[in-house]
Amino acid sequence: MGRHERIAELAALDSPGLQVADLATGPGRTVRALLAAATEPVRIHAVDAASSLDDEILHDARVRSVLADLDQPLPFADQSLDRVVSLNVAEHLADPPGHLLECHRVLRPGGRLVLAHSDWDTALFASDDDVLTRTLVDRFVSTVPTWAERADGFMGRKLLRLALNSPFELLTADTWADCHRRFDKGSVGWKVAMGVLAATKDDPELATKATGWVEGLAALAAEGHFLFAVTDVALVLRRPD
């Protein structure tokens, strides 16, 4: 079971007519998992700053695309939703505690927030150079990518404190290793490796080493020896009645 399927299971879409918001939905991988996991009719609001939903998701009658800046108030009325999913959102926001308050505002009493985040400092690569790998992961974690205003590679381990300082009731806290064997373009391991290259571009010596490191990962993948994993943290929070 992958990350998105685990998140969908935690959302517990087991009642008819649930109104669900998936925040920072991207191409809709979590939406697809939510639709597959729902045991009753459901309405999913796929929220992001721009629409990049896959076509079959965008044209699904159960899905509504919503454009919104997640640093602003959520575009939903008070107590209008039954579930909110926030996966890998908090690290990019100016006010993560305020994000939880907004999720609390839009949920009905008894509604659930699935708050989840990868902890990028735990990124694991099978590699022939452990010391270089640790150096490169450290650089990746400490560098804000060019496409984001902010990032926090340690956000996964910070979720519990955020939750306990919010008005929510904590139901469960889970962690797992999200494991991948692929290293083709678009795979999670490949995306993180490209992030490593971007993070080292201002250091010519380290950038050269990083390029060789990525080539080594590709060689391992060609031999069937590639492995990537990162620890995900997932909390299920409930708005009290």
Give residue-wise pLDDT tens across range 116-134. Answer: 999 999 999 999 999 999 9
Domain that holds residue 60: 3-238
Q: With contact defined as beta carbons under 8 Å apart, do 21 and 86 qualify?
A: no
Collapsed DSSP state (helix, strand, coil) of residue 51:
coil
The per-residue pLDDT of the chain, averaged, comes to 96
Give the Cα separation of 162 and 7 in Å (integer): 19
Q: With contact defined as beta carbons under 8 Å apart, do 178 and 118 qualify?
A: yes
Eight-state DSSP code of residue 69: -
As a whole number, mean pLDDT of residues 60-81 equals: 97
The pTM of the full predicted model, rounded to 2 decimals, is 0.94
Task: Tell me: pLDDT of 148 over 90.
Answer: no
Counting Cα atoms < 13 Å in the Cβ hemisphere of 60 gives 22
CATH of residue 14's domain is 3.40.50.150
Residue 54 confidence (pLDDT): 94
Q: Quick count: other Cβ atoms within 10 Å of Cβ 62?
A: 14
Task: Tell me: pLDDT of 1 over 90.
Answer: no
pLDDT tens digits, one per residue of 80-109: 999 999 999 999 999 999 999 999 999 999
Collapsed DSSP state (helix, strand, coil) of residue 193:
helix
Residue 83 confidence (pLDDT): 98
Residue 146 confidence (pLDDT): 84
pLDDT tens digits, one per residue of 208-235: 999 999 999 999 999 999 999 999 999 9
pLDDT tens digits, one per residue of 183-209: 999 899 999 999 999 999 999 999 999
Beta-ladder partners of 48: 67
Q: How far is CA 77 from the centre of its chain?
A: 24
Task: Report the domain count for the chain.
Answer: 1
Task: Tell me: pLDDT of 147 over 90.
Answer: no
pLDDT tens digits, one per residue of 37-47: 999 999 999 99
